[in-house]
Structures are given as structure tokens and as C-alpha cells.
Chain A
Amino acid sequence: MKKIMLLGLLAMLMLGAVVFAQDAEESPYTQEEIDASPYLTSVLARQDEEYDTTAFKKDGPYRIALAAQGTSNAWSALFDAHANWYVEELGTDVISELLYADATASADVQVPQVEDLLAQEPDALILVPMGAAALSAPVERAMAQGVPVILCASTVETDDFVTEVGTNLYGSGAYLAQWLVDELGGEGNVVMMTGIPGVSTSDIMQSGAEAVFAANPGITVLDTQPGQWSTAEGKTLMETWLSQYGDEIDGIWSGGAQMSQGIVSAYLDAGVEIPPIGGGEFANGFLRQAIENEISFAAWQYPNAMVKLCIDTAIQVLQGESVPRFIDFQDYIENTQNFDDSKVEEYFNSTWSDDVSGPILFPEEKLAELGFIVTE
């Protein structure tokens, strides 16, 4: 009997150790890091926080407002296509009307648009904020008016909204950096190409990456410069780095696949071997380059398909179901997790044009209608 009790105790201790080890693994951030990043603090806190939505509960069908990025690039066009497709899929007995506003990627345009949408008294507002500061007041006004706000793909400065659908951008930046550190065996020179300075997505990813590099003294960051999320700017900058550092560059951290495409192009022009790139995405053009040139890379994701999750969340809110205050699409949509070059063939689609960023949830015929299928 004593033996059985002892064995039982040992088993419990081992189980506890395993659980403890898993917990330790699942918390990749130090307390110092969390304290230093208000974004990380907020995301980690909101992940565990539920929003009581009973005040918004009402019977359907619902009129949902979508203040989107709008006509600006392929990502946004596919975001809109996903929204329209999914609303159609759900049918008019679930969503009777989708009120849509096209911000043309401008905060100045979006602020009055949100006011116009609210004047139409929607049941919920899905907002893709074009500016964290500029959209804070409109979000607060919507909540005060009793319209629940679901932030989609970006955030605002105020905390007065129901929930945010996105991903932990700090973690994305850190993942790309950690992959580079591992790839380089903890030692080497890297350059960092960030997005647009001052834009929160870019700054947050950068801070995540910098924390990782700082924790690895064998890694030297030769330079950090913005590539403005542009292929042209990315190539221009990489050319200058190549002229300055040449083969001293052991790895490249990039905050976006558009810039990474410019980086690859600069290397191809220079005829120099391409080092590992921590900065791919599920972007068909980059993946094609990666396959053609056998590039070693890691990719993060920011899928346009996340709007489906935003719509689902809005419906949940209107049905009075409580929702987490931060919803990571990686937990809900397939093929939106970080990946590396070992999976490039799984993600690349030879029938898609270079502009497509996946995953695409709607049928391929719709993609063809939108002109995103390669025709010979």
C-alpha cells in the first residue's frame, strides 16, 4: 500500500513538473520585457480577460458596419473579398446588411466615415483602424452610442472597445529574430529592415525583435533602417547595405514580405549568396522567390482572411456571448501560424499571382474573378 502511495505521489510530482515545464515554455517573455512593452502588457492581459457582452445582446438578423482599409493594395482587396464572401455564405437571416466604408488606407478619410456609419445605427462596428490615435475618439463615441466595436487587424490607443482580432505582433517580431539567432547558431551580424517608423505594427514588431537580439550577445545588429514596407525602398536600402557590409551580413530581419522581395532582388542583382531572411510571409511572390532561389527563411503571418473571424466575433457579441478581449487568429484559422522554408512548398500556390497573400478561404473561382489567378 505504501509503495502504491509512493508511486502515486511520484507520478503526481512528475505530472506537476511536466505541467510546470509546459507553462514555462508557453511564457516566452521575461517580466522585464513585459514591463518594457505596454503593447505586450496589454495583449497578455487582454488574452485572459473576457468581455461581458450581455448589454449588446439582440435578435438577428444583424446590420454590421465594416470600416475597412479599402482600395489600396492586394491585401486589402482580398480582405474585402473575404468579407463579402463570408456575409453571403452566412445568408441574410444572419446578417441582413453589411454597411461598408472604404478608407483608401487613410486615417483622415476613415474618421468621418466612422461617424457616417454610426449615423446609420449599425448593430456592431468592425473597424480596421488606419491610425491608433486618430481612431480612438470615434471608437469611444461608438461604444458610448451602444455600438460594440470589434477591432480587426490593428488597434487603437483607447481601451474602450469590446475586443481586438489580430496576433501578438511583439511575438511575431521576436519569432523572426529568434529563428535568425537559431539559424546563425547564436553568432553573426544581422541588419534589420523595419516598416514605416511611427506605425504601431512596425514599431511593435521591431521591439520584439530587438529584445531577442539584445538577449543574444553573439548577435551584432549592424544597422536598423526603415524600408517603408515597399519593395522599391527595400531594394534601395539593401543595395546600400551590400555596398557597405558585403558578405559581413550573416542574416536579415525584415518586417514585411514586400521589403523582403526587394532584399532578394538586390542580392540577385549583386550576384551574392542570399543569407537567411527572418521576414517572409504567406505572400505568393515572396514564396516564389524563395523556391526559385532556395532561400532559407522564416515567415510570420497577417492574413486578410482574419476578417471572417472578425465577423464571427461580431455575431457572437450580438448574441450576448462573452468574448476574450484579444483574439489571436492563429488559434482559429488554419495555416495562419508562423512557418519556415521547410514548409514553403505547402504554402506556395503556382496558380496564384504574386500579389496573393493567403490563406484564401473562398473558392478559387472567386479568386479568378478578381484577377488573382495566373493565365498563360
Chain B
Amino acid sequence: MSAEMWPLPSTTIAVRRFIVQYGVYVSLGIVLVAGIFLTPNLYSSQTLEVIFKQGAQLGIVAIGQTLVLLVSGLDLSMTGVIFMTSVVIARVSNGNDQMLIPAFIVAYGLGGLVGLANGFLVTKRKVPPFVATLGVLILVQGAVQAYTLGVPGGFVPDGLGIVNQSFGFITIPLILWIILSVIFIGVLRLTPYGRRIYAVGSNPIAARLSGLSVNWLVTSAYVLCSLCAVTSGIILTGYVGYVDRFIASGFDLDSIAAAVIGGTSFAGGRGSLLGTIAGVLLIQVLSTMALLLGLDIQVQLIIKGLVILVAVALYSAARVE
């Protein structure tokens, strides 16, 4: 006889709900308090600037990844989109500030097409999101290689260096992250579109039967995710000042990790952008603390892996009804 057949005590239910709703914030709080003792330098203005600047780069991508996860999807193509954006900016503008706007238009146009391709494969061709977006990633990388003849170089306009401006620890990427987060949190919480995204992720069949255009909603999430990746690509290109083929390395998995740590479910329909923001900050603060402590890269990876595993295990256990 399974224990799950008996009704759970109300305190157990309350604890589980608490973990699901507030686990990531409590974890972030614990890490921040630990930082006071372990790495006091964490709270210097310069370190906070670094955390927010680097966190914002991942945070913008994680917004898109959360949207896709909410509709039971996954986007592995975003690193390809970020790299493509970098190449497009360098090649279209050729280092000329006046050509930045046309370069942005081309980058967003191509990014939108990548999102449409992901959405089409997942909704119309029923390709599993992992395979579809991985295939698109390889396709995008191949197209960039073909376009650049294997030399992903070019000139980044000086004007894009504006993303490196900061006011204390408030940086331009941080401001953009906050603006985009507010917009998307508002959209998800307050608009019919947001509610439908959750509905599609929770139960696509019920959503379809209730008249929702499931394919359109899922595709829109992929398109928005790609557009977030383009935005992140623009920021990263200005940040680095060069076309770097490793410019977004790790962002695909880190963005998924941030969303999952923040409570977004792989099964879709559950999660919040506030949780993702906390997840991004948790990853960023831990990474910075590890560096401040001078830990080896191997130890850093182990810590990151453990945090993800513990978060997923806790959420999985807490969500068992």
C-alpha cells in the first residue's frame, strides 16, 4: 500500500508549498548571508556591479527560456542565435555606428525566423523540443560558418560600447533586464496571453479543447525566446567588443538551470519569472563567490551541478501530490 494513498498531513503540505513557492528565495538569502562571512568582498560596489552586469546577460536569455519551458518546451538554439547576432552586427555595420539600427533589424529579423523554425518543428512536425532546437542550433552555426567562410570576425561599432556604461553598480544591461522582466512578468500575470501560456503548458489538450490556438501560443514563446537571445547577443557583443565564437558558451544550459532552480517545471505550466530572476542571481552569486574564494574550476562546476540537482530534487519531491 503506497503512502501516497493516504492524505498528507497539513503541515507536510504547507512545507511542500513553501519549498515550491519560496525555496529559491530562501536559498538565495542563505547564500547571501553566507557571503557576509565567507566573502565580505561580495558586497563591494565593484563586485555588485560585476554580478548585476554578468547576471543581466544571462537573465535576459533566461526570460525567454522560462517562456519556452512554461509551454513544455526547451530552447537549445539560443547560443547559436547569440553568436549569429554578434556576427550580423559586425558584418552589417562594419564598425559604423550609423549602421547599428539596420544591423539590429537584420539580427531581430533572423532571430525571429529561428524562433519560427523552432515553433514550426515542435508544433507542426511534432519534433521533440530537444531535438528540434538542437537541430536548429547546428543549422544556425553552419549557416554562420558558411556566411563567414569560417572566419567569424568583423568590426563591432564603438557606439555599442554604451552597454558598458554604469552608474554605481547599476549597469545598462541591468536596466534592460529589469525593464524586460517587468514587461514579461506583467504580460504573464495580467494579460490573457500570459494565462494562456500557463494553460497550454499545464494541459495542452484541455487548452486546445477550450478553443486556444495552442500551436500559435507555443510558436510565439519560441519566437520571444529567440528575440531575447538577440537582445542578449547585442549586449554581449558590445560588452566584449569583438566577435567571439565562445561569446555565449554555457548560456543554453545556464538559462535552463536558472529557470529550473527558480521553480519552473520541465513539464510546463508551472513557474514564474520572479523565480527565474532569483535563480539567475543564485547562479551568478555562487559563481562570483567561488571565484572570490579562489576555488578551482572543477569545484565550481561541482557546486553548480549540486545546486541544480538539489533544486530539482526538492521541487520534484515537493510537487508529489
A residues contacting B by CB (< 8 A) are 70-74, 76-77, 104, 197, 222-223, 225-226, 228-233, 235-237, 239-244, 246, 258, 261-262, 265, 269-270, 285, 353-355, 370-372
Neighbour of A232 across the interface among B47, B152, B240, B291, CB < 8 A: B240
Q: Nearest-CB distance from A295 to chain B (Å)?
A: 15
Neighbour of A77 across the interface among B44, B50, B150, B244, CB < 8 A: B150
Contacts of A197 in B (CB 8 A): 297-298
Q: Nearest-CB distance from B83 to chain A (Å)?
A: 11
Sample of 11 A–B contacts (CB below 8 Å): A73-B151, A74-B151, A76-B150, A225-B291, A225-B297, A230-B244, A231-B244, A232-B249, A240-B291, A243-B46, A353-B155
- B53 closest partner in A (C-beta): A239
Contact A236 B151 (CB under 8 A): no
Instruction: Given the known inter-chain contacts A262-B240, A370-B151, please indicate yes or no for A72 contacting B245, CB distance below 8 A.
Output: yes
B246 within 8 Å of A (CB atoms): yes
Contact A229 B288 (CB under 8 A): no
Could you say which interface size class chain B belongs to?
Answer: 20 to 34
Cα separation A236 to B239 with both chains bound (whole Å)? 10
A-B pair number, CB within 8 angstroms:
96
Contact B47 A240 (CB under 8 A): yes
Known pairs A223-B294, A231-B241, A244-B47 / 10 extra A-B pairs, C-beta < 8 Å: A223-B291, A226-B297, A229-B246, A230-B244, A230-B247, A230-B249, A240-B47, A270-B46, A285-B242, A371-B151
Cα separation A239 to B46 with both chains bound (whole Å)? 9
Contact A73 B152 (CB under 8 A): yes
Contacts of A246 in B (CB 8 A): 46
Contact A261 B294 (CB under 8 A): no
Contact A71 B240 (CB under 8 A): no
* Dominant SS among interface residues on chain A: helix
Contact B292 A240 (CB under 8 A): yes
Contact B288 A240 (CB under 8 A): yes
Neighbour of B242 across the interface among A231, A237, A240, CB < 8 A: A231
Cα separation A285 to B44 with both chains bound (whole Å)? 32
User: Within B247-283, which residues are at the interface with A (CB < 8 Å)?
Assistant: 247-249
Contacts of A242 in B (CB 8 A): 46
- B248 closest partner in A (C-beta): A232
CB 8 Å contact bits of B188-229 with A (1 = contact, 0 = none): 000000000000000000000000000000000000000000
CB 8 Å contact bits of B147-158 with A (1 = contact, 0 = none): 001111101000
Cα separation A353 to B249 with both chains bound (whole Å)? 24
Neighbour of A243 across the interface among B49, B155, B240, CB < 8 A: B49
Cα separation A355 to B153 with both chains bound (whole Å)? 6
Neighbour of B151 across the interface among A230, A258, A355, CB < 8 A: A355
Instruction: Given the known inter-chain contacts A244-B292, A353-B153, A354-B242, please indicate yes or no for A232 contacting B50, CB distance below 8 A.
Output: no
Cα separation A341 to B244 with both chains bound (whole Å)? 25
User: Within B283-298, which residues are at the interface with A (CB < 8 Å)?
Assistant: 288, 291-292, 294, 297-298
B66 within 8 Å of A (CB atoms): no
Cα separation A314 to B240 with both chains bound (whole Å)? 40
B54 within 8 Å of A (CB atoms): yes
Contacts of A229 in B (CB 8 A): 246
Cα separation A371 to B50 with both chains bound (whole Å)? 35
